[in-house]
Chain A
C-alpha cells in the first residue's frame, strides 16, 4: 500500500528525459505539474505504468501526472531532491498559494491537512468508543463490569488516549519536520510521568524551573504543570509547528558535521520548553476561563444557546475534556445533568452537518470520510466529523453550531437532563430523563444543521475541493521563467474561449488571438474557396497557437507552419499559419507538439513569428479549416 515516493519520483524523472528536460515543476492537491522542454523525450507509455502515477494528461502546456492527495507532495519533494531543483521553489509555491487565501483559511488549512491522514485511526476509535460506552450504560446488562468491557474499552480509546502522538506525527509531516522528532514531542506531551489530562480535576504537581522569581500576574515564568495533553489537538499542532520551524532553522545554520546531534537535541529541548512554559500555560488558562464561562452560561436558556453554538469550537481547542467537571458538579448539587442536552445538541448537530456533506458530495473520497464520521458523531464522538469534514469545509461547521444553538435552547427551556455523564448523542438515551423530548432535541439540532449544510454548502465553494481542482501556481523554475498559466506576470497569451467552427460533432475554438475573418476573405484562393474544407481566417494579434479542441495531433508539416488535429467525432482540423508560408521552410515557426501527441483544448501547440512572416513578405493570416466538413451535415463558421 505504502508508496515508495523516491522510487516513484525517480521513475518519473527517468521517463521524462531527465532533469535537463524539466523547465518547471509544481504540484497541486493531486497532480504533479511539470513543464517539459522537449515533449518528444517524454515516454508516456512508461509514465502511465509507474507505480504511484494514477493517470496523466497534458494541459496548458504542462504535463500533469495524477498522483493523489497527500502523496503528491511527497513525490514532489523527492522529485525536487532527485532533480536538484531547489527546495526554495517548493516553498515559494506554497507561499504563493497560501498568500492568495484569507488568513482564517490559511489557519484552518493545516489543521485539515494534519487531520485527514489520521482519520482512519480516529474514525475506528470513535465508532468503537461510542458503541462500547453505550453498551456499558445499558442497565442490567452488566457489560461495564465484564472483562470484555475492560479490554474493548482499552482498544477503543487507544487512538484518543494517544491522540497527541498521532497528531504530532502527522503535523510534523505537514510542516516539513522530522516525523520521529514529531513523535517525540507528541509522546512527551502525554508522558506517563505527567498526570493524565482527563484527571486534571483530581489535582496535579507543579515544577518551578526558575523558582518563584519571575511573575506575570498570577503566573510564574518557568512554572510547569505536570499535566498531560491527552485528547488535545491544537496545542500539539502548535508545538510541532514550532518544532519544525526550529528544526529547519537549525538545519540551515548548524555546520553539517554537527548537524546530526546538535539539531535534534536542540530541537527537542527548545520545543519542550516552549510547549510546557508557553503553549501549555496559555491553553490551561484558556481551559479555566472556558470552564468558568460555561458554568455561568448554562444557568439560563440564552446562555445554553450560546454554549450550544460554541461547544464544537471548544472541541476544536481540545477544551471539552473539562466539561466532565461541570457535569459531575451538577449531579452532586441538583442531581440532574442539564449540561448533557447541550453537548448532545451540539454533537448531534455536527452529525447532521457531516451527514449532509456525506449525502451531498459527489467526491467519492469525501463521501467515504463523511459517512463513517457522521456515524461516529451520532454516537457522541465528533472529532472525526469536526476535523475531518465539517471544519475543512467550514460551512457545515457553522451550520452545526447553529443547529447546536437551537437544540440547546430547546433543551434548556424544556429543562430535560441526564442522570449520569459521559455519553451524548444516541447513547444519551440511556441516561436522559425524558426520551421523547430528547428525541425532539436531537431531531431539531440535527435537522437545522443538516438543512443549513444542504442549502449553503456546495462542493465548489469548499477550500479543500478548490485546492484539489484549482490549478496551483506553477513554481518559478530554476530558470525563473514565468509560469505559463499566470496571466499577469507572463508574456504568454491567453487562449480565447470562442467557438469559431461548429458542427454536430463538436466545436472548434479560436486557436490564436486576433480578428476572425470570413473564409472568402482569406487572401488565398485555395483556402477561400473551401477546397480544403470550411473554416475561417484569423488576422492574428498573438503569436501562439492553442489547441482549438481536445484531440490528437494528426500531422505537423515539415515546414512547421501547419498542424492538423483530429478531435471528437473524427473532426479533422487544419491550422495553417500564414499564406504560402510553406516556403519559409520552418523559419519563424516553433511547434510544441508532434504527430500522435494528445492535446487538450487551450494547450499551446505552436509559436510563430509575425515579424518573420512579414519579412518574408507573406500574409500572416491563420487559416483554420474543418478539412472533412463534407462529412458533416451542418457546419457553421463564425
Chain B
C-alpha cells in the first residue's frame, strides 16, 4: 500500500477536467486507489464521485493506492497532482 498526500494549490480545485485526468491516469494501472478528503473517501476511479467531493484550493487530500503496480501508480498520480493541481 502506498499513500500520496497533497494540498491542492489550483484555485479551482478538482473540477471536471483535472478529475478526468486523475481517473485516466489511474486507469492505466492495475492498482486501486481511494481518495480521502477529511473523513470522506471515494473510489478514485469513479469520476463523478471524485468531482462530487468538491475539492478546493487548500484542501488536503490523501490517496491510498493498493495493487501490484502501486509504486509506479503512486508516482504517476503524484506527478499529475503536482502538474495540474
> Are B12 and A627 interface neighbours, CB within 8 A?
no
Interface of chain A residues 552 through 578 with chain B (CB within 8 A): 554-555, 557-559, 562, 564, 566, 572, 574, 576
Interface of chain B residues 8 through 45 with chain A (CB within 8 A): 12-13, 15-17, 20-21, 23-24, 27
Q: Which residues of B contact A574 (CB under 8 A)?
A: 16, 47-48, 51
Complex Cα spacing A254 to B7, Å: 74
Complex Cα spacing A583 to B16, Å: 12
Interface of chain A residues 583 through 638 with chain B (CB within 8 A): 583, 595, 627-628, 630
Is A100 part of the binding interface, using a Cβ–Cβ cutoff of 8 Å?
no
Residue of A nearest to B12 (CB): A582
Complex Cα spacing A531 to B20, Å: 7
Complex Cα spacing A8 to B52, Å: 36
Q: How many A-B Cβ pairs are below 8 Å?
A: 61
Beyond A559-B12, A582-B12, A582-B15, whether A526 also contacts B47 by CB under 8 A is: no
Tell me how many residues of A have a C-beta within 8 Å of chain B. 22
**Residue among A533, A558, A576 with the highest chain B CB neighbour number at 10 A:** A558
Name the one of A559, A564, A595 contacting B47, with C-beta atoms under 8 angstroms. A564
Q: Which residues of B contact A595 (CB under 8 A)?
A: 52
> Are B12 and A532 interface neighbours, CB within 8 A?
no
Residue of A nearest to B47 (CB): A627
Task: For the complex formed, measure the closest distance between the CB of A197 and the CB atoms of chain B, giving whole angstroms.
Answer: 71
Name the one of B13, B15, B48, B56 contacting A627, with C-beta atoms under 8 angstroms. B48
Beyond A526-B21, A531-B21, A630-B27, whether A572 also contacts B15 by CB under 8 A is: no
Task: For the complex formed, measure the closest distance between the CB of B55 and the CB atoms of chain A, giving whole angstroms.
Answer: 10
Complex Cα spacing A564 to B54, Å: 13
Is B49 part of the binding interface, using a Cβ–Cβ cutoff of 8 Å?
yes
Complex Cα spacing A576 to B17, Å: 10
Name the one of B20, B21, B51 contacting A557, with C-beta atoms under 8 angstroms. B51
Tell me how many residues of B have a C-beta within 8 Å of chain A. 18
Beyond A531-B21, A630-B27, whether A572 also contacts B48 by CB under 8 A is: yes
Binding site secondary structure of chain B: helix
Task: For the complex formed, measure the closest distance between the CB of B57 and the CB atoms of chain A, giving whole angstroms.
Answer: 12
Q: Which residues of B contact A526 (CB under 8 A)?
A: 17, 20-21
Name the one of A554, A572, A576, A628 contacting B16, with C-beta atoms under 8 angstroms. A576
Task: For the complex formed, measure the closest distance between the CB of A520 and the CB atoms of chain B, giving whole angstroms.
Answer: 17
Complex Cα spacing A555 to B51, Å: 7
Residue of A nearest to B20 (CB): A532
> Are B47 and A562 interface neighbours, CB within 8 A?
no
Name the one of A533, A554, A559 contacting B15, with C-beta atoms under 8 angstroms. A559
Encode A508-544 as 1/0 by CB contact (under 8 A) with B.
Answer: 0000000000000000001100011100000000000
Complex Cα spacing A627 to B49, Å: 12
Task: For the complex formed, measure the closest distance between the CB of B11 and the CB atoms of chain A, giving whole angstroms.
Answer: 9
A-side residues, CB < 8 A to B, are 526-527, 531-533, 554-555, 557-559, 562, 564, 566, 572, 574, 576, 582-583, 595, 627-628, 630
Q: Lowest 10 CB-CB distances: which A-B pairs, in order?
A: A532-B20, A555-B52, A554-B48, A564-B48, A627-B47, A555-B51, A582-B15, A526-B17, A558-B54, A562-B16
18 inter-chain pairs at a CB distance below 8 angstroms, sorted by A residue, are A526-B21, A527-B17, A531-B20, A531-B24, A533-B20, A533-B47, A555-B48, A555-B49, A557-B51, A559-B15, A562-B15, A562-B51, A564-B51, A572-B47, A582-B15, A583-B12, A627-B20, A630-B27
